[in-house]
Structure 1
Amino acid sequence: MTRGAAGPTLVLVLAVGVLVATGVTLLLERSLTRILLGVILLGNGVNLLILLGGRSGAAPLVGTAPTAAMSDALPQAMVLTAVVITFGLTAFLLAVAYRSWYLTGDDEVQDDLEDRQIVRLAERNEVATADLGGEGPDGDPEQVDPEPARRRLRRRGQQP
């Protein structure tokens, strides 16, 4: 942005669009490395968008310029916070990608069994069986017993 300009330049708006579009496209990939790059690009695009929302001008220090000529400090503070959050998320995803590479030799995210079952049902145009409920805690195999194991053992007369 130029000093005294009424708003963001077209180049910066296009840069935001390219960064966000590329980031979203990379997020939709199955490789963790591409997902990591997508998060970084998306974060940078959003940070630039937040900065474009602020007013340009002189440094926001008291006594250096009139108040009306100072830039808005809130978007700068928000971008600083967003940079820290993006860095933390990037570090986490980098650790997940490294762990995946270390364990499997590949960083591709695999489908789990439930996803494959849903795809097969969708191809046959079938509906999954509905859980109508009402079976009670002993009749439903998906029901989780909220009681700790020790209480169950004591109730049955056994010692832990």
Structure 2
Amino acid sequence: MTINLTLLIVMGAMLAIGIYLMLERSLTRVLLGIILISNGVNLLILQTAGRAGESPIVRDGLGAEEYLDPLPQALLLTAIVIAFAMVAILLALIYRSWVIARQDEVTDDEEDRRVATTIGAHDPEEDDDVGTETSEFIDSVDPVTGSVRAVNPAERNREASEEPTSSSDAHQAGES
């Protein structure tokens, strides 16, 4: 049996990127991760089929090693159908989430937090609220000029830790 190294590398990259995308909180990224993982698994099943051979119809004069194994082909077709069904269901969930909440982010459930606190499984450091966007690679828009400017991670962390003052506090400070 010969192994195509290029297909193995592509399969590994698809699986790695797919797993990374599935760990995100955005349903769209989860969908892309599922698609990449299913295609990576399809390549894996294709590799298990081995080399091309004769169709699996018994003929005189052909040895068993000359036939192509039909099992990987059947598994591949089954994997394609299962992946299509998963993508269809996730697309319906994304659409429904967008129609109801105008977002595709998965948020924490308050009831789950309450139960975790009750049974002592809540860890404040581990289970703290996460902002809507935590990436340090996002540029910010300068409010004065309207241009996009790069923000280094230290500056972003400092801005996130500062609490904005409310307008009533600023108004009271101006009166005194």
TM range (shorter): 0.5 to 0.7
Segments of structure 1 that go 5 or more residues without pairing to the other structure are: 1-5, 126-160
One-letter amino acid of the structure 1 residue matched with residue 124 of structure 2: E
What is the root-mean-square deviation in Å for CA atoms of aligned residues?
2.5
Secondary structure at the residue paired with 2:68? coil
What is the distance in 1 between the residues matched to 2:61 and 2:85? Answer: 36
Normalised by the size of structure 2, how large is the TM-score? Answer: 0.61
- From 94, 102, 106, the equivalent of 2:91 is 94
Structure 1 pair 112–25 and aligned structure 2 pair: CA distance change class (3 A): same
1:72 aligns with 2:69: yes
> Among the aligned pairs, what percent are the same residue?
44
Give structure 1 regions of 4+ aligned residues with deviation exceeding 6 angstroms.
none
Shift of 1:49: 0.6
State whether residues 56 and 68 of structure 2, in contact with CA within 8 Å, keep that contact through their aligned partners in structure 1: no
One-letter amino acid of the structure 2 residue matched with residue 33 of structure 1: T
Structure 1 pair 65–73 and aligned structure 2 pair: CA distance change class (3 A): farther
- From 102, 109, 112, the equivalent of 1:112 is 109
Normalised by the size of structure 1, how large is the TM-score? Answer: 0.66
Structure 1 pair 113–55 and aligned structure 2 pair: CA distance change class (3 A): same
* 2:50 match: 55
- How does 1:30-45 map onto structure 2 within 5 Å? 30-45=25-40
Structure 1 pair 96–65 and aligned structure 2 pair: CA distance change class (3 A): farther
Segments of structure 2 that go 5 or more residues without pairing to the other structure are: 127-176
Secondary structure at the residue paired with 1:123? coil
One-letter amino acid of the structure 1 residue matched with residue 82 of structure 2: I
Structure 1 pair 10–111 and aligned structure 2 pair: CA distance change class (3 A): same
State whether residues 58 and 65 of structure 1, in contact with CA within 8 Å, keep that contact through their aligned partners in structure 2: no
State whether residues 18 and 37 of structure 2, in contact with CA within 8 Å, keep that contact through their aligned partners in structure 1: yes
1:103 aligns with 2:104: no
Shift of 1:114: 4.2
What is the distance in 1 between the residues matched to 2:90 and 2:122? Answer: 32
Structure 1 pair 102–64 and aligned structure 2 pair: CA distance change class (3 A): farther
Structure 1 pair 65–81 and aligned structure 2 pair: CA distance change class (3 A): farther
Structure 1 pair 72–115 and aligned structure 2 pair: CA distance change class (3 A): same
Shift of 1:8: 1.4
What is the distance in 1 between the residues matched to 2:112 and 2:25? Answer: 14
What is the distance in 2 between the residues matched to 1:55 and 1:75? Answer: 9
